[in-house]
Structure 1
Amino acid sequence: MMKRLVQDERPLVAIMVDGDSISARAGDPLATALALAGRLRLRASPTGAPRGAFCHMGVCQECVLHVDGALRQACLTPVRAGMAVELRGVP
C-alpha cells in the first residue's frame, strides 16, 4: 500500500459547471478540476467534434471556455470558490 507523502491542505471549494456544483481544490488548474469531475469534453469544434485540454500549458487554445462570462483557458485558470463555468457547445 502506498502512503501519501504530502497532505494537500488546500480547501475544497464549490464551483458551478453548466449549472451543476462540483468540488475542486482551490488553486488547481480548472482543467484538472474538470477532468477529476469527469468533464473531459470542454467544447465542440465548428464541425461538432468534442475538444478537451490538450497541451496543459496555454499554447493550443483547445481548453478555452467561459468562466464568469469571459473566455478563459481552463489549463491556466486557477479554481476559486463560486466560479461559474460554461462549457462551449459540448454534445
Structure 2
Amino acid sequence: MNRILVDGEPLGFAEGQTVAAALVAAGRVAWRTTRTGGRPRGIFCGIGVCFDCLVTVDGATGRRACLVPARPGMTVTTREDGDG
C-alpha cells in the first residue's frame, strides 16, 4: 500500500484516492476547525466548491484535500485553527 505522511504519521492510501478520501478511509472525518466557534471541518462537498477540507500539501497552504490526488511520499499537514 502507498503511504503519505499526515501530521507526521504515515497514512496508507489506495491508488487513485484523493488526500480527503485517504483521510476519511482512515477514520478522520474532520481535520481542521473554523476560525470562529471552533467547529470541526473535513470533507463537505467533495468536488472542490467549498473550502472545508483545506490542508497544507508539501508546504503549499490552502489546498482542497478533495481535489489533491494522494502521491507516495507526500507530506500533508492539517490545522486546528481554520487555516488548513
* TM-score between both structures, scaled by the size of structure 2: 0.87
Runs of 4+ in 1 over 6 A off after TM superposition: none
**Conserved? CA contact 1:26–1:81, under 8 Å:** no
Q: What is the DSSP-based 3-state SS (H/G/I as helix, E as strand, rest coil) of the residue aligned with 2:72?
A: coil
Question: What is the match of residue 50 of structure 1?
Answer: 40
Q: What is the DSSP-based 3-state SS (H/G/I as helix, E as strand, rest coil) of the residue aligned with 1:77?
A: coil
Question: What is the match of residue 65 of structure 2?
Answer: 74
Q: Which runs of 5+ in 2 are unaligned?
A: none
Q: Which runs of 5+ in 1 are unaligned?
A: 1-11
CA RMSD of aligned residues (A): 1.2
Post-superposition Cα deviations, 1:22-50, rounded to whole Å, max 9, x if no partner, equal 11013211111000111111211002111
**Conserved? CA contact 1:43–1:51, under 8 Å:** yes
Query: Aligned residue pairs: how many?
Result: 79
Percent of residue pairs bearing the same amino acid type: 47
Question: What is the match of residue 2 of structure 2?
Answer: 13
Post-superposition Cα deviations, 1:39-76, rounded to whole Å, max 9, x if no partner, equal 11121100211111000000011111111111211000
Q: What is the DSSP-based 3-state SS (H/G/I as helix, E as strand, rest coil) of the residue aligned with 1:33?
A: helix
